[in-house]
Every structure is written in structure tokens, then in C-alpha cells.
Structure 1
Amino acid sequence: MNALHSTIVLYAELCLEVRMVILSVYRLQSRGLSNSNHPISHPDMDGTNQPAEVNQQSPAGQQAMGGDVEESNSSGNSQNPGERKAQMPPLKPPSMWTSMAMKELKSKLRLEKDRVVTVKRGNILTVHVPTVPEGKQVCWEFATDSYDIAFGISFDWNPVTSQAITVHISESSDDEEEENQLEGLINPGDVEKGSKSLANSNIGEILPVYRLDSHMAVQGGSHEYPGEGTYLLKFNNSYSLWRNKTLYYRVYYSA
């Protein structure tokens, strides 16, 4: 019985060794086929490979043959006035503060006309505030009931045509389309939208739109005139899918 057991063990070990040899041969053959089907040039000692050097030399040769044509094309693209964005003076950040006198502000604004508005879900309320000669800076205060709202400020450098403060309400999709036009994403050759994009290219950002805890504290601030133009104060409720926001706000000038 012991001899039979030893024979079985030797046979099993032999089969295992044969299997390992077969696997090794199969792997070597597979590597050989892979290298023959997909030749890859090995890198030189300096870390570069020859095909890369050939590719680098080829464009140089083409440029030597037609360099004047390529150089003139690249120069023309960089100097295309339609692709250059209008250079605007830098805008300083606003001065901002908070106050806990929410009840006092809300009670006062309820007595004034058009100082309490509802910004519906998905909508953006923009207050257009033109600069006036009597003032040197624009100031604002606002608060909301129960829920916060997003707020941001831009400045339109176009000349002021009216000193009236106006309010514009838009849906988020309309506002996004307007921002795309301001960023020059619309083809200037578009007959319907290209002219509007070029006309509104003089708008700069003072404060990016972000959510403020206007339901917990009065949000206030001021900004010194950078020049003649119109402030665009945006109260953004586009992120809210279900809730309308009651907004209390006032805008005034300071010398």
C-alpha cells in the first residue's frame, strides 16, 4: 500500500510539473506573437524613442517647405478682432456685512412700494441700478423669509441712458442663454443672436452668484463706482425646484 501511495504521489507531481512547463511555453509563445503583431520601439537610454524623433522632424520639414503659409495663418488667427474679448478695467470686490436687525428692516420695507417681492422657484430677479452723478457708490440691503437665496453683482460698462432703477425677472434658462452670449459662446455670425452677444460684451463680474443666509441675517454691502455704467444685482432662485422666496430689499446711493 505504501508503494502504491508513493507511486500516486510521484505521478501527481510529474503531472503538475508538465502542466507548469506547458503554461510557460504558452506564455512565451503569446508574448512572441504580441510583439510580432504590435511592434513597439523600445526607448533609448536617454528616455526618448526613435519614432517620436521621426514625428518631430516631419513637421519641421513641412514648415521649412511651407513655413510662410503656416505662419501667416497662425498670425491671422491670433489677430482676428472678432475672437478677441473686449478689455475692461478690473473691478474691485464689494464691501459686505451682515446685521441681525431683520425684523426692523422687514417692517420698514413693508411700508415702501415694491420693496417686498416674490422670487418664484427657478427664477432670477435682476435689479438694474445705473450710476448717478450725485453718488459715488451703490449700497444694498436684503433679507428673506424662512429660506436663503443666491446673490451676485455684475457691472455693465455701456453708457447710462436712464437713471431709473428697474427690475427684470427671468427664468434660469433665459439667464443662462444671456450668460452664454456674454461669454461669447454664440457664433458672431449668427444673425439672430450675434449682435446681442457683441453688444453685451461690456459686462464685468463684481461678485459671483452664491447662496447667502439671508433668512438668518440681513445681507448688506456697498461698491464704489468704477465709472459710468449700470449695476446688475441678481437674486437667484434657480436652484430651488419647489420653494418661492419672499425677498425684502432696498438699494440706495451714497456720496
Structure 2
Amino acid sequence: MSVIVRKNSSNDERSVNPAATANNQTSGLNGVASDDADTKEIWDLLPLPDLYSTVVEIYRKVKDQIKMDYHNRVLLLAYYKQEKYGSYGPEKDTNTGYFDLVGSDRRKKWKGLGNLSKEDAQREFIKLFEIVSGGKLKEWINQKLEEKRMQEQIRIFQMVQKKIDNGEIPIHLLQAAGANLRSILSSTNNGDVADGGANIQSVSELLKRVETSNGGTAVLAASLWCKPNAAREFIEQIKDGKETRLVVGRGETVTVRVGTSDDAFAIFWEFVTENYDIGFGLSFIPEPSDPDEVSTEYELLPVTRRDCSVDIVMGNHQYHTKGTYLLKFDNSYSLLRSKVVYYKVYYHKPTL
């Protein structure tokens, strides 16, 4: 028996009847006001504050390389000032000199924004820059995100190297990984992604296998893989089940809580979406041995966006103690779309 908990943008949590969830959609964040059709897909890439900061980074890098008329350049600067300082005031604009014509025009635009909110200033900056970019902004954002992902892979690579050198990764886990990590590390050109991206990913997966312990209770990391091009077949097989369909509203996170089974030793899960991606993460809360003991939540898989409208995302985890799994379906980054998830959870029992 699973329990479903919804969490929307206002941090309101509530238990939900799975059968009722199948046919009812719960709204989370309101959509972005007055979006242009060409920019709608951009809002799903990141939460608004992160999206804005990413777009500003891109703007600073390409502003001198793209054609931008004077009016739009000044207006972008005005939106930037409004977002950073709020409504115009002389005390906030001390750097504009008497002969600074650009600064004077920017000040007029800034004044004209009135009491425009910080969030609306962010949105207007993004929408205007999308127009100025000639429709290339989404591509630039994805390139920036990929760049950051590679930087994170290199960071993980360096962390594993340090842990191995310091003897912090137990030898039995290195053996269980089925790979000579020192060979992988030495063959990857100091984390050069172009030549060693696959090896960095292998190292990243190994790091996730390192166990943590609390009072002698070992919690091993989970496994995750995909079954290609099988999503439509999966939906047809399970679509009639009452507890297999989940609607995750826009701006919402839904957590499915599943307890361990006494006569099994592993839990498995599979899920797909009707369309688009969904964030997914997995945590485990061991059952305390002492009723007065505070429960500890272990993050087995961090919440990460998964493209699962074509492939089935599958995974498992072996447990050695009683507890509760938290399967987290995250749509908090999407301001415009709800996501329909089909999933199933089952146990693996020992063979007699």
C-alpha cells in the first residue's frame, strides 16, 4: 500500500487518495503572465530565479556579438536595474552623469517601469532577450546547462580521486564496482570531458555506490537504468490500475511513500510520462530501533529531470532494514504544464 503526498509551491503538503488522483488535476504555480508562444518552452527549463541568472550570464557574453537596436538594449538595462534595485529612485542611480546619454535614456525607461515586481522584471528581461536573440535563447540556455553539467562531472571526478587517494572508499566497494578505478582515473585526461566523459560518468556512478552508515545501519545507493522505446507499451499495460496513474500539477512535487516488505529484500520501480520530462528522486527512511530516536532520511537518488516519455525509467534498491521509501516526482520547475506519470512499484523476494 502506498501513500501519496503532494507539495506545491506554497509548501502545503497533504495526503491524497491515489484513486482520486487518477482523474483529478491539482494546480500549483500560476503560469507566466502574457507569455509569447515562442518563449513558452523556455520557462520549463529552470525555476525562474535560476533561469534569469542564466540568461543574464548569456546576455553579458553575447551582447556585443548580436544585432540589437538601441531601444531594446536600453530597455534590457532598465529591466535589469528594476530587478536588482526595485522601482527607480535618484539615490539608486548615482552613476549616471549629465552627459551620459545612454544612462539618461535607461533612467527614463527605468522610471517608466513603475512598481513592476522583481519576478515580472525577470520575466520581461527573458522575453525581450528571446526576441533580440532571434530565437536562439533556448539553444544558448541548453548549451550553458550542459557546460555546468560537465563542470559538475569534473568536480565529482576530482572528489573520487581524492577519496581513493585518502583510502576513504572501502576496497570491497571498489571490487563490487567491477572496474579498476585507478586505471579509469589515470586514463581520463585530468577530467577532460572531450576525451573522458564516459569515464567521468563511470566514476560518478561509483561514487553513488559508497555506503553511508548511521548507528551501524548501512544504506546502499540505488541503481537506475532505462528500457528504450517502451513507454507506450508500458502505459497500455498498466493504465487501468487505480494506483498507477499520477497527475503532477504545474509547480508541484508529489511523493509516493512505500514501506518495505518483511518477506522481500529489494524494491523495484518503473515509470514513464505521457509527454515531456519529470524530475525523479529516491530517499529512504530506516525504521528507528528506538521509538524516541529521530528518523534519518537518506537521499539515494537526487531529484534529477528524466526524459521518460519514450523510454521506461527503471531502478531498484536492496534494503537490509525496515523502513519507508520516498519516490519523489518533481514538476516544480514547470510553470505551464502538468505531467501525467504512469508508474508501478514492486518487491523482489528470495527464491526458495
Normalised to the residue count of structure 1, the TM-score between the two structures is: 0.49
Say which structure, 1 or 2, has more relative contact order (CA 8 Å, 6+ apart): 1
**Higher relative strand content:** 1
> Quick check: which has more Rg, 1 or 2?
1
Normalised to the residue count of structure 2, the TM-score between the two structures is: 0.36
